[in-house]
Structure 1
């Protein structure tokens, strides 16, 4: 493989639009005991008290009722197997994915190291836009899917977020597919995405990986695929690892949100009073519906992780506190998983002086685990 490797230190001065803003999305501490069986739809308790600092003034709506298999219900004496709540990670585990149709669009840029394309692919019934950086030289090249952090969809444009990483990794000989996610740029709209806790982003990432694997482009080695997520995209990456183990060969997260969805809900979603009320009315508070909140937290299912994970986090991150990544690392280590974490003294959420070092470590990690 003819891999072009050129220095990228000049990129350290690039803009940090790749992250989730302080008005982004986040989650909170759920119980850490591993759960191997799908979590059924919870029935919220009638208590009006919430396990969070902000009081809920409206009474919860009618509880979400667990559904059962039609065949089980029809067969007398048959064991009823409750289906998982459709808004849950167990539902993502059971979902049939058909990521496909990766299409090259117009050329956005061409330089001595790679060509940058506008692309689309299918995620279920939706069409998702993104960018694809294809290195010059003889392929096929290993591929990476990049999951960006929170950027307001009103201002987001195609390929925004992780700009430095897109460039750096393509120059290091990786095909880079940066997904815009649903509701972003030219992607199809999903009006329920916010009230379903943005789990649709995880579907889009899973389907992005499958679109690469199924692509007939000779430049892509669909047998060697990794995943990188930043901030909110770090949470999407953790969801992907527990929902579809074995999908990728290795994963990296930068300055990730919490692996407990309650942390993220309390830190960001509660600031949007109307959305928070809709979510709590529908699913119940963490105290009323603890099983629901466990069911949407990747930490609950860390026993399912099979891929090595590398974590980068700055000690001065005021957006996603470093304790979240430390807790994620510790929870994975307790389950005997292959996880390593680098801490960067004084680095903030966007990463500055130590960004080149973090990228050298990232490339070495992917080179090792995506080797031919």
Structure 2
């Protein structure tokens, strides 16, 4: 069940030949668009899930590539639906937020297969979005940390699941890995209706931690014009140290007091991509606020929790079964 899909999360995503970052799109990005208050005011209507193609089924569930609308863009996603008669009110569901994968190599039906399968087998509808600019999804891949598009895509995936008659809209959770953990935490403070969340190796530090406590080098595949979005934001708004009020509004960590959903966190101590300190800091913050949180730290394990994959998946499935 080992997957090499859950690759290095970076501050911004790479371009692809099919989905390059246009000058107009880059110029329109303003870090202020990432503020949690702005995200809460934005409408996320979602849409009906439209079948693009039907895939071979899983052990006890169907698989389809579907699409939904986000900011008027057609976003593809991998949908699984349990076989059989749904429980009263509909199936519980999980929005599945993947980590960084270069858009030029991303494919809807590759990567995260074993992870999504574990939840699908357990009786959950799952929906893994191809963020804009990934695979056949429309739009441009501008990254998750300084441009709001991926957050919007996740929120519209949630709204689309709520509209599906097979799904119980009151029993929806989120799972996120790496950058997907960042998006998951944002979604939790934007929409209090999300019932539970699990985050693996999440980029869950605030912006000061992300800028100054993340000792990693961005892959060479990321074009400088995309990396410059961070530089552009600092030039306009200052650093987190000089302008904390601005950057705090962008960070989900500043709004943890509004959380309603219980969270389960997982990370390996040998994670070379995301600092364990992000996990530990969020866990402390949640406990200090009296929020329900489970924290699992796996000695010697990597970014994908490869050594403890079955254990981490079993804990995650049990967590959702108890709370959705």
SS in 1 for 2:246: helix
CA deviation after TM superposition for structure 1 residue 159, in Å: 4.1
| Counterpart in the other structure of 1:263 | 209
Q: 1:203 to 1:269 in 2, by over 3 A?
A: farther
User: How big is the alpha-carbon RMSD for the aligned residues of Structure 1 and Structure 2?
Assistant: 2.3
1:228-266, Cα deviation, whole Å (9 max, x unpaired): 0001100111111112222x1100000111331233344
Q: Provide the C-alpha distance between the structure 2 equivalents of 1:283 and 1:20, rounded to a whole number of angstroms.
A: 30
> Partners of 1:320 and 1:117 in 2: how far apart?
32
CA displacement at 1:282 relative to structure 2: 3.4
Unpaired runs of 5+ in structure 1?
A: 1-10, 27-63, 65-83
Between structures 1 and 2, the one with greater helix share: 2
Deviates more, 1:260-269 or 1:311-320: 260-269
Aligned length: 296
Counterpart secondary structure, 1:109: coil
Instruction: Report the counterpart of residue 15 of structure 1 in structure 2.
Output: 3
Distance in 1 (CA, whole Å) between partners of 2:257 and 2:110 is 33
Query: What SS does structure 2 have at the residue aligned with 1:205?
Result: helix
In structure 2, distance between residues paired with 1:141 and 1:196: 32
**1:121 alignment partner in structure 2:** 68
The 3 A distance-change label for structure 1 pair 122 and 268 is farther
- Candidates 126, 151, 161, aligned match of 1:176: 126
Task: Tell me the alpha carbon deviations over residues 141-162 of structure 1, each in whole angstroms, 9 at most, x when there is no partner.
Answer: 2111100001111211124442
- Structure exhibiting the larger radius of gyration computed from Cα positions: 1
Give 2:148's aligned residue: 199
**Where in structure 2 are there 5+ consecutive unaligned residues?**
13-29, 219-223
Is the aligned partner of 1:147 residue 2:134?
no
- Pairing 1:232–2:179 present: yes
Q: Do residues 105 (structure 1) and 52 (structure 2) align?
A: yes
* Distance of aligned partners of 1:151 and 1:320 in 2 relative to their CA distance in 1, 3 Å threshold: same
**Cα distance between partner residues in 2 of 1:25 and 1:134:** 33
> Aligned match of 2:304 in 341, 347, 350?
350
Q: Distance in 2 between matches of 1:85 and 1:278?
A: 11
| Contact map agreement 1:159 1:180 (CA 8 A) in 2 | no
Please say if residues 255 and 312 of structure 1, whose CA atoms lie closer than 8 Å, have aligned partners that are also in contact.
yes
> How much has 1:15 moved relative to structure 2?
2.1
Offset of residue 167 of structure 1: 1.1
**Displacement of 1:99 after TM fit?**
1.3
Q: Which residue of 2 aligns with 1:93?
A: 40
Q: Equivalent residues in 2 for 1:299-310 (5 A)?
A: 299-310=253-264
Deviation digits for residues 62-96 of structure 1, max 9, x if unmatched?
xx9xxxxxxxxxxxxxxxxxxx9433111011112
